[in-house]
Structure 1
Amino acid sequence: MNKVRLTTNNFLRGALVLAAALLPIHAFAEECNEETMDAFAYEDCVKEQQGISVNNEDFSSTAALKAEKEEREAAANKVEPKYNPFGRDAYLTSSFGENRGTRYHAGLDYSTQMEEGWPIYAPEDGVVKELKVSPFGYGKAMYFQGRSGKTWVFAHQSSFGVLDDLVSKQQYATKKNDVTVRPGTAYKKGDVLTYSGSTGIGNPHLHIETRLDNDRVINPALSNIEFSDTIAPQIFGAAVWQDNELAFTAPEAIEKGCIVTPVKNEFNLNLAVKIADYSRTPKENPMSVRRITMWRYDEKIFDERLDTLRFSRMTNIRNQLLWTEEADTAGDWHYINAKIAPLSTYTMEIEDFAGNVTKKKFSFRSKCKDNRDLQLTKTQTTPLFTAIARPMIDFFNCKNGMQFSAIGKDGVIAEDLCKVFEHKPIALAKVVDTYPNMTTIHYSASASQSGDGKAVDEDIQLFTYKKYQTSINWNTKLGNVAISQKISGIPVAGDTAIRVLAVTRNHTDSLDFIEFHPKGLQLKNWNVCIENPDNSAPLYWLGETSRNWFIFSKQNKGKKRCASANELRDIANIDNPDAPTLGFPYWADMIISGTRQTALRIPLMYKYDGIESGNDITVKAGNRWIAVEYDSEPREIVLESEKLPDAGEDITIQIKDEAGHKASYTITIPGM
């Protein structure tokens, strides 16, 4: 083995190495040469060799570019503050993509705590492209195009601030209350753009949406909007079916990981889940969700994200959200478009627009502990109703004494369906499966058995069609009322089950009407004609959630009334000869140019027929035309005090309603 001999030279070399290690990093890195180094470098070199600390910051152009690059990268990675339209706390009352019957909700709704006049700030630099004024829909709406290229829509406004003068000039120039103005006025980010209100439909709130173009609208949460939502989505039920075998599961059973299947160990199951999201407690205004993802074990089999909508494809809502009669209760039925097998374990993840996530693991079983019956109707009084986009019949009424019989072209096929089927709601097509030649179901009950204190003796008329049939021409009768339907653009079904259309009569204290099922079936065109020898009055359709009647704006006249729509609706012949009337005027306020000013408010009262547009109201003081604002909720005519004559003088108000009724009223201006 070689031995190291420690000599004086060895010791000195080691000491020098140690000293070098303790000096700054540049020490002894190079020889200090006064001839080859500039004065500053030579001075720093000598200082380093003497153990003096030196500032080695590089002030060359390369270092400056490097610093600039680092600054740009830091700015790019900086988290941009979220846009708050008010600069104050506000919670959501409606979400993007929410179910609005025949369409999706195209934006977010913020509560303004039942107040009007909250200033709304510009989300970015941009220009006001358009202002629209209407008593319906978006009410007063501002279309603001930002530098990003997106168009921001602010709806239900009370005032456009300084731009109100442009609107007023357009109204008086055209003598129209509903106008469109294109200002092109520029605003900087953070400027006050407009003021919240309650014009159009709804109580005081702000509707905000972001559009990419005239057709595409995106989830505003993707535009860095701030909103408060701390509650994760909730599951309110599940439905599983194969052909016409259908089973429902309550949330208590789902919570324990169990969903009922109506068929044992069968493949090709269909699944829909009822989901709602709330933004706060108390839990009001259930909203939609952004994402639903499902796995079979570790395999992702379904992923649906709602970040972009097209106005041209809004009717696709019924491919995703399946109509059920209790449509105005919490949540929507989301169809899970995936291949479902029974003998597997599934995981579902549901995310709202704030990023809150609910995760559930479950499997399918023939029975679930703690399962209970789900509410499938809310206001329905006949045994015929719609659930999961299919007609249903409620044989639970058999327990109350209601009788059902099946009738074909040649007479009675089955006298007592209560002896054939379980006493619970079942798919109407399942009854047709059992009796293929059936065309009618007759049901009857005494006043004590019907459930609403009235005796009933009615028919359900049926039309059976196949999976790929997309058009129907059907003529039938209910009593002495003839009904004809020409239907085109029926969606192609996703399974092999037969399909059924159904129609029956219903009776209320004030009127009789005809129910068409399945509700929510959206079509290319539905032409329906009603020939009622006892009542040839105009046709009205029923709003399923509002329970209000609305006249078909276009229909023929005469004994046979015909109208068109893109969805099956309940219909009534309604004789309404009365025009809207006015209530007592009173002084309150309105917001003009962003400030509260005195206004005269006059209630507008009607039962069925409202006005079609703000231009159907004309106000004059003598021959002088006066602009008027109409609030559809509440129903009030609003007049700016400065435009009115003095107290004690008269104005005339002329009104034309949707049914064509005209009325004229003289109002004396009250004292303040």
Structure 2
Amino acid sequence: MRNISYKLIGTARKAFALCLCAGFTATFAEECDEKMMDAFAYEDCLAANGGQIDNDAKKGKTDGPRLTILGQKTDPYNPFKRDAYLTSSFGENRGTRYHMGIDYSTQMEEGWVIYAPEDGIASEIKTSPYGYGKALYFKGNSGKTWVFAHQSSFSAQLDELVYKKMYSTKKNDIVISPKVAFKKGDTLTFAGSTGIGNPHLHLEVRTADNKGLSPCKEGALCLDTIAPQIFAAAATYKDDVAFTSTEALDKGCIATPIKNTFENDAPVHIAFKIADYSREPKENPMSIRRLEVFRYDEKMFSKVQDTIPFSKQLRIRDELLWAEEADTAGDWHYVNVPFPPQSEYRIEVEDYAGNVTTKKFSIRSHCKDNSEFQKQNFQKTPLITYLSRPALDLGRCDSSFTFAALDKNGNTLSENLCKVFPHKLTFLGKIAATFPAATKIAYSNGNSENTIYMTTLNKGASSASWTVKDEDFEISQKVTGMAVRTNDGTPVLAFTKNITDSLNFYEFHPKGLQFTGKWEVCIDAHTAQAPLYWLGETSRNWFIFSKQTSGKKRCASMNELRDIATIDNQDPPTLGFPYWDNMIIGGLHQPALKIPVNFKYDGISDGNSITVKSGKNWIAAEYDSEPREIILEGARLPDEGEKITIQIVDEGRHKATYTVTIPGM
């Protein structure tokens, strides 16, 4: 996560603040110009104009909060008492779950002081190399719990309790309940980069009944100067889809996939690709608070996201549709109502600072200036997932690829799908509806041949079981808790083998499939002679299944479909050269010895998988999962030239012990 912050203070900001101090009402006559004003002046101009922003359509109105420094009856809660922009928003897409808080930039710096939001107690502290890293749970007198994640350290009193628990239990990852009281504005903790990500603060607000609340709605400062952007639209009808680019959407048009005249009055479903940014440069796309659609002047759809129960996090699959290019800007927001043609529509999108973007559109068979846009990343095979459905990239028909449909007995149903369907992204449901007996698609690029395996699911089914036996493998799958609410077409499961120079693996689709149960996959022992690993879609790193069975089959389960490989890795992690740097304890920088950890596949599951000793004396070790380093407090280490031992047990249960000589500073 890259964090950059503007430090310019515009004259408009100063003038508006002076007017407020004098007790006058300020009015800006000029338009809010994002390009001509610095970030703060632009933000204050928006606040003065009621949070509205000029765009290609009419100015939108907002019913949401405008939590900026100015224009509030009471001051917002500023965790740092200094300007900090949002880099991630509440409700943002995190793959299988919603982002349950907001992230603030700390300008790539650790150690920013964080102040208590209200009177209350530090109810719990947890430490881990992953997830929230060092996290403080602060229960306020209001009854709400504030969560501060990725901290570098806590207040001196709290850090003393943390180290006391670590040394008494000889564990690096600990949980304590300090019950230490703080007053509003007291120094509570210090921002850092523990867990995942570069230096930043992750802030959550939770209720007693386990609901996540938007911190922006609860009074936290949310600096965001840019209104949301609507990049594209996708209209679906049964097994067909039509995409609309930014250029065509800006002209008020959304293309429909319906071509038959007798179906012209049929409604379509639409998903919009939307992202919000807090400032220039636009580096961290965020989610939105509100999406509403109007047919003429009647509101036909509304989603306002200020509260998310933790028990409903999987609901994200009903609202944000997975796409193979999911690591590019924006998410596909599904609007769960039908759109009849021959109507005028308006969409309003609002971010968590109250900035609104409005667009008017109508649905047409053809849109002028409609252009292609990226629909996949890192994808070698023509089988991809788009809008949470498996799809075939028949655009490759124009580059020597051939595709044939086969039934379960190997009989050819169509020897050339390139002659049957347009040369573009095509849902497998369309192919299954055209050839109901199809179970395989054989494809070739002229140099090599491969097969896509597919099965058609019953509409409305809540579970599915599927086993494929071929000459080289046997793979079985089971999915439970399916909803498939956003697919009014033919639901299909599919997979294929991806053959690469370094590692062969199986791709399973559709990724992002809507289900609330589990996906269980089993591969026969002949095919899977080594443990099962899954691929991180954006990191492109392989991770071992921490829980898997073996025997006649190797089986594992997840809450989404993934790419699966079997990897025979016998190498434990190794250590790099130690060097002196610093760490933060109680808000103060202290000398620290940092030792890089190197591995290709099997990482370190938690901090307790590392044991450091000087002779018989146990030494606390902090493991930083990014950039994979062991961090040791210098004051607790022996003198220069003396030795310590480090034992590491990785996720593949490989154990290694190393002797490290303390270097000179």
TM-based fold match above 0.5:
yes
Contact 2:300 2:337 (C-alpha < 8 Å) held by counterparts:
yes
TM-superposition CA deviations, 1:151-188 (whole Å, max 9, x none): 11000001112111100000011110101111111111
Cα deviations by residue, 1:440-464 (Å, 9 ceiling, x for unpaired): 1100113xxxxxxxx3311111110
* Equivalent in 184, 189, 196 of residue 191 of structure 2: 196
Q: Which residue of 1 aligns with 2:459?
A: 467
Q: 1:363: Cα distance to partner?
A: 0.1
Residues in 2 aligned to 1:661 and 1:234: alpha-carbon distance in whole angstroms: 48
- Residues 1:552 and 2:545 are matched in the alignment: yes
Q: Normalising by the residue count of structure 1, what TM-score does the alignment of the two structures yield? A: 0.86
Match for residue 208 of structure 1 among 197, 203, 208? 203
Q: What is the one-letter code of the residue matched to 1:185?
A: V
Q: Please list, as runs of the form range in 1=range in 2, the aligned pairs for 1:104-503 lying within 5 A after superposition.
A: 104-162=98-156, 163-213=158-208, 215-264=210-259, 265-410=264-409, 411-446=411-446, 455-477=447-469, 479-494=471-486, 496-503=488-495
CA displacement at 1:478 relative to structure 2:
5.2
Classify the secondary structure of the residue corresponding to 1:561: strand
RMSD across aligned C-alpha pairs, in angstroms?
A: 1.3
- In structure 2, what residue type is equivalent to 1:513? F
Amino acid in structure 1 at the alignment position of 2:144: K
The alignment status of 1:603 with 2:578, answered yes or no, reads: no
Q: Deviations over 1:79-108 (max 9, x none)?
A: 111111111111111110000000000101
Report the 3-state secondary structure (helix = DSSP H, G, I; strand = E; otherwise coil) of the residue aligned with 1:130: strand
Aligned residue identity for 1:442: A
Query: How far apart in 2 are the matches of 1:84 and 1:469?
Result: 48
Q: Residues of 1 paired with 2:629 and 2:439: CA distance? A: 49
Provide runs of 4+ in structure 1 moved above 6 Å. Answer: none
Q: Does residue 85 of the first structure (1) align with residue 79 of the second (2)?
A: yes
Query: Secondary structure of 1:259's match?
Result: strand
Helix, strand or coil for the counterpart of 2:396?
helix
Which of 570, 576, 580 aligns to 2:573? It is 580
Q: Which residue does the alignment assign to 1:60? A: none
| Residue equivalent to 1:521 | 513
Tell me if 1:614 matches 2:613. no
The reply on whether 1:511 has 2:498 as its aligned counterpart is no
Tell me the equivalent position of 1:659.
Answer: 652
For 1:85 and 1:496, how far apart are their aligned partners in 2? Answer: 46
Q: Distance in 2 between matches of 1:255 and 1:588?
A: 52
Q: How big is the shift at 1:533?
A: 2.7
Which ranges in structure 2 are unaligned for 5 or more consecutive residues?
Answer: 1-70
Report the Cα offset of residue 522 of structure 1.
4.1
| One-letter amino acid matched to 2:629 | E
Q: 1: CA distance between counterparts of 2:488 and 2:458?
A: 8
Distance 1:159 1:238 in 2: 44
The farther-off stretch of 340-349 and 370-379 is 370-379
CA contact (8 A) 2:237 2:488 kept: no
Equivalent residue, structure 2, for 1:30: none
CA distance in 1, matches of 2:545, 2:229: 38
Alignment partner, residue 100 of structure 1: 94
After TM superposition, give the deviation of residue 268 of structure 1 in Å.
Answer: 2.9
Secondary structure at 2:439 match in 1 = strand
Give the conservation status (yes or no) of the 8 Å contact 1:301–1:339: no
Contact residue 460 and residue 504 of structure 1 kept, 8 A:
yes
| Worse overlay, 78-87 or 279-288 | 78-87
In 2, Cα distance between the equivalents of 1:193 and 1:488?
A: 44
- Counterparts of 1:63-74 in structure 2, within 5 Å, are none
| Cα separation, partners in 2 of 1:370 and 1:478, compared to 1, 3 Å | farther
Which amino acid in 1 is paired with 2:280?
T
2:449 is aligned with what amino acid? D
Q: Give the counterpart letter for 2:147 in structure 1.
A: V
State the SS of the aligned residue for 1:105: coil
Post-superposition Cα deviations, 1:121-149, rounded to whole Å, max 9, x if no partner, equal 11111111011111110000011111111
Amino acid paired to 2:559: N
Which 5+ residue runs of structure 1 have no aligned equivalent?
Answer: 1-76, 447-454
In 2, are the aligned partners of 1:586 and 1:670 still within 8 Å (CA)? yes
Question: What residue is the counterpart of 1:21 in the other structure?
Answer: none
Deviation at 1:492, TM superposition (A): 4.2
Shift of 1:386: 0.7
SS, match of residue 325 in structure 1: coil
2:152–2:194 Cα contact (<8 Å) kept:
yes
Shift of 1:424: 1.0
**Matched-pair contact (CA < 8 Å) for 2:318–2:514:** no
Contact 2:479 2:519 in 1 (8 A): yes
**Range that drifts further, 428-437 or 361-370:** 428-437
Letter in 2 for 1:230: T
RCO comparison, higher one (Cα < 8 Å, 6+): 2
- Bigger Rg, which one: 1
- 1:564 corresponds to: 557
* TM-score, structure 2 normalization: 0.87
